[in-house]
Structure 1
Amino acid sequence: MVDLAFSTNAYTQFGLPEAIRRVSDHGYGGVEILADTPHAYLPQFDEADRNSLASALDETGIEVANINANTVTGYYDDAPPSSFFDPTIITADDDERAWRIEYTKDAIDLAETVGAPAVCVATGRPLPGNPPEQAREYLLRSLDEITDYAEAAGVDVGIEFEPELLVECTDEVLELIDDVGSDALGVNLDIGHAAVYGEDPAESVRKCAENITGVHLEDIAGGRRGKHYHLIPGEGDLDFESVFDALDDVGYDGFATMELYTYPDAPDRAAAEAYTFLEEHVR
């Protein structure tokens, strides 16, 4: 049976322990931890931070659904306020790519510590001077190292595809999983990303089936081929009933995580309204 979780990336105006408490107060069974500033930017996430995290989890009894290591805005002093992926596991600079590999390993360590089943990571964009063919070679090398580490830790790694990234759709992520050949590698399936690419999200669920390490939920205005802007369920045009039917059909029994970072000024409203809209699908 699917359970609902909520990502702390909507609560960037709060510290991580308070974000966890607020997610729990809204009835969610799970919380996704943002492995980036201002919550758990791993190079600066010290013992005191880890103790505060452990206390918040013990106090609420909430489970950690996933460690979201898609972005590393904390790497920069002047990062833009939008999603920022670089440096990535496909970055052409060897030192920066190695840094990102180690960062992902640190996210795996955090997942193991808090009992999270998975870490998600995005591929990033093939930037000028790094054509897709070369970027994919970097990706394969990076994932060989990351998945070896993940297998030893007993943590899954979910690639989150997204339009305009190197891996941007269902077929591409499944091809990547086959090419890497690790039992630890799967897909963190964001249904909104599938829709924006032009796919049927429910069909994407069925295609991914046993490879799903986690699910991200948000609504999209315009449905398939709509604009990539995360909305509270019910404010866009996605068919959530078909998505949950598909999750049930493939036997997925993990967390479906609301990812509503687009509501930094109203995260409690977003969390409450999303839960009210979706809870009938997980009863």
Structure 2
Amino acid sequence: MKLAFSTLGVPGLPLDDVLRLATTHGYHGVELRAHPEEPVHPGIGPKERADAAARFGAAGVEVLGVAGYARVAAPADDDGPVIDQVRELVDLAADLGSSYVRVFPGGGDEQSAEEADATAARRLGVAAEYAADRGVRVLLETHDSHRTGAAASRVAGLVGHRNVGVLWDVMHTWLGGEQPSASYAALSPYLGYVQVKDIAGPDDTTPLALGAGVLPLAECVEVLSREGWDGWLCWEYEARWYESAAPLSGLLGAGRELLGRLLNESA
């Protein structure tokens, strides 16, 4: 498996510094948070995109994915704005040479689960054709209204297109009451990559160093290894939302060592 980290853990850091952290600590890729606070987002032009792609190429680090904030299950009378958001993310990913775009469900409480599934599937079905033309796969993250593997896979199954899949966030499936084996069983036909992290508990999701909290990281890696899955593990350290979180830069080395050890033990 290949290892990456998300720039959510180092918000606003210039790309050269992000790449220095990746190469120093042995990460194969970086997931880019696609937000105007960051150096890379859908609002930048062709020159900036080409420059970013060149910097990653020169460093030998892959752009694993573009983590966007489109909410594909959000209730609205008009699908157009959401589909446009996803297309913008797909264009950015393609320009950067990335294979994946992350979107959220965002179904909310205003509609039933069936209605939210249908809304998300309809929008993703339209976006899938555009993504296919650009060589990008759109991944619905296990999050908010669809936090379990069972819920996210319902949507992917309704879409039924190879350019739509699921991003497994191990925190959300755990908070949703799923065991890693059940999450993988639901997600395996659609799995793009896996976000790992650690927290103190269900009532305190402040990010911790990998292995310092309660999330079943060893079990997740063991399930993936046992099933022969050979994709990406991406450490999403949500420092942007927690002022008390320790700086990710000081944790990356130990995190890389822990993931390497878990992979070796599961081999």
TM-score by length of 2: 0.86
Q: Does 1:103 align with 2:85?
A: yes
Q: 2:169 aligns with which of 176, 182, 190?
A: 190
Aligned counterparts of 1:273 and 1:202: Cα–Cα separation in 2: 26
In the other structure, the counterpart of 1:9 is 8
Q: 1:282 aligns with which of 251, 263, 267?
A: 263
Offset from partner CA, 1:120-171 (integer Å, 9 cap, x none): 111114255x555544433222111111112222322211112xx2322111
Aligned counterparts of 2:48 and 2:197: Cα–Cα separation in 1: 29
In the other structure, the counterpart of 1:259 is 236
Q: Does 1:235 align with 2:212?
A: yes
**Considering only aligned residues, what root-mean-square deviation do their CA atoms show, in Å?**
2.3
* Contact 1:33–1:66, Cα closer than 8 Å, also in 2: yes
Q: Percent same amino acid among aligned pairs?
A: 25
Cα distance change of structure 1 residues 265 and 14 upon mapping to structure 2, 3 Å threshold: farther
Q: Give the length in aligned residue pairs.
A: 259
Aligned counterparts of 1:142 and 1:118: Cα–Cα separation in 2: 17
Offset at residue 93 of structure 1 (A): 3.9
* Contact 1:187–1:208, Cα closer than 8 Å, also in 2: yes
Offset at residue 65 of structure 1 (A): 1.5
Question: Which protein is richer in strand relative to its size?
Answer: 2
In the other structure, the counterpart of 2:135 is 154
Aligned counterparts of 1:137 and 1:30: Cα–Cα separation in 2: 33
Q: Does 1:178 align with 2:161?
A: no
Aligned counterparts of 1:226 and 1:24: Cα–Cα separation in 2: 34
For 1:43-54, list aligned pairs within 5 A: 44-54=43-53
Q: In structure 2, the residue corresponding to 1:282 is in which secondary structure?
A: helix
In the other structure, the counterpart of 1:65 is 64
* Contact 2:137–2:164, Cα closer than 8 Å, also in 1: yes
Q: Does 1:250 align with 2:227?
A: yes
In the other structure, the counterpart of 2:185 is 206
In the other structure, the counterpart of 2:74 is 91
* Contact 1:210–1:250, Cα closer than 8 Å, also in 2: no
Cα distance change of structure 1 residues 67 and 47 upon mapping to structure 2, 3 Å threshold: same
* Contact 2:49–2:95, Cα closer than 8 Å, also in 1: no
Offset at residue 244 of structure 1 (A): 1.2
* Contact 1:8–1:16, Cα closer than 8 Å, also in 2: no
Unaligned runs of 5+ in 2: none
Cα distance change of structure 1 residues 21 and 103 upon mapping to structure 2, 3 Å threshold: farther
Aligned counterparts of 2:156 and 2:112: Cα–Cα separation in 1: 21
Aligned counterparts of 2:217 and 2:27: Cα–Cα separation in 1: 18
Q: Does 1:112 align with 2:94?
A: yes
Offset at residue 212 of structure 1 (A): 0.8
Unaligned runs of 5+ in 1: 72-86
Aligned counterparts of 1:134 and 1:247: Cα–Cα separation in 2: 32
* Contact 1:216–1:258, Cα closer than 8 Å, also in 2: yes
* Contact 1:231–1:262, Cα closer than 8 Å, also in 2: no
Q: In structure 2, the residue corresponding to 1:188 is in which secondary structure?
A: strand
